[in-house]
Structures are given as structure tokens and as C-alpha cells.
């Protein structure tokens, strides 16, 4: 059984995709992020996500990067405290 998210591969120029999922023991907080595919049999894929400050409520902010977030209610930018 496949685990969480992973890279999607297209051999039809982007018309159709086939999912290749992380193994079950990988973190659910590490979606596929960057990849290099030097051959059909060798893939290098990294995973991860921007860290969230412990006091941050996901419903109140949108993370632009790991250094900048936007308050959904006020539209103000701020820097998360880690």
C-alpha cells in the first residue's frame, strides 16, 4: 500500500499523470517538493514544508515563506517567531 504524497509523472506531455507515492513510513508533513530525474530508473526527490510557529493558528495566517506570513483578517505581513 502506498503512503502519502509524492511526485506525479506524465509521459503524455502533461495530459495525464501517474502518482508515485512516498512509502508509508515517511512523514505526512513532508509532501514532495523538488526532484531531479537523471534517468528512468534514478530519481532524487526531496520533501518538506515551511515550518509553522507553535502559537500560529493555520486558520488565521497564510505562510508566504518560512520567514513571512500574512494575517487573513488584517492583510498585514509578519515574521513568525520560532
Three cell numbers, residue 22: 512516498
Task: Give the pLDDT score at 1.
Answer: 39
Q: Cell numbers of 35, please?
A: 526532484
* pTM for this predicted structure: 0.44
For 28-48, how does the pLDDT look when each residue is reduced to its tens digit (9 = 90+)? Answer: 667 778 888 899 889 888 877
What pLDDT is recorded for position 32?
A: 75
Where do the domains of the chain lie? 1-49, 51-82
Question: Cα 16 to chain center, whole Å?
Answer: 21
Amino acid at each position: 500500500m502506498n503512503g502519502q504524497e509524492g511526485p506525479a509523472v506524465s509521459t503524455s506531455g502533461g495530459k495525464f499523470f501517474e502518482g508515485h507515492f512516498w512509502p508509508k513510513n515517511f512523514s505526512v508533513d513532508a509532501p514532495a517538493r523538488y526532484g531531479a530525474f537523471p534517468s528512468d530508473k534514478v530519481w532524487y526527490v526531496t520533501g518538506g514544508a515551511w515550518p509553522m510557529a507553535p502559537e500560529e493558528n493555520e486558520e488565521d495566517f497564510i505562510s508566504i515563506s518560512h520567514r513571512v506570513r500574512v494575517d487573513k483578517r488584517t492583510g498585514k505581513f509578519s515574521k513568525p517567531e520560532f
